[in-house]
């Protein structure tokens, strides 16, 4: 299968003087695969999806 999404060492913060909300995120999603992003409220699921 071929990889359709690749993320390497993603770091994200909403403001320069704030801490990172995502840090060193790595993942690969292959074509025709099913993945779930699961976690508590406020853990960064939407931020990851928007990134």
Residue range 20-40, pLDDT digits in tens: 999 999 999 999 999 999 999
Q: How many residues does the chain have?
A: 51
Rounded Cα distance, 9 and 17, in Å: 20
User: Contact, 3 vs 29, CB < 8 A?
Assistant: yes
Per-residue burial over 2-41, b = 16 or more CB atoms within 10 Å of its CB, e = otherwise: eeeeeeeeeeeeeeeeeeeeeeebeeeeeeeeeeeeeeee
Predicted TM-score (pTM) of the model is 0.77
Q: In the predicted model, what is the mean pLDDT of residues 31-51?
A: 94
Rounded Cα distance, 28 and 41, in Å: 23
Percent of the chain with pLDDT over 90: 94
């Amino acid at each position: 299968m071929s990889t359709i999404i690749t993320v390497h060492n993603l770091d994200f913060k909403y403001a320069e003087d704030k801490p990172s909300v995502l840090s060193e995120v790595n993942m690969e999603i292959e074509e025709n695969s099913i993945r779930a992003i699961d976690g508590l409220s406020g853990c960064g699921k939407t931020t990851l999806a928007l990134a």
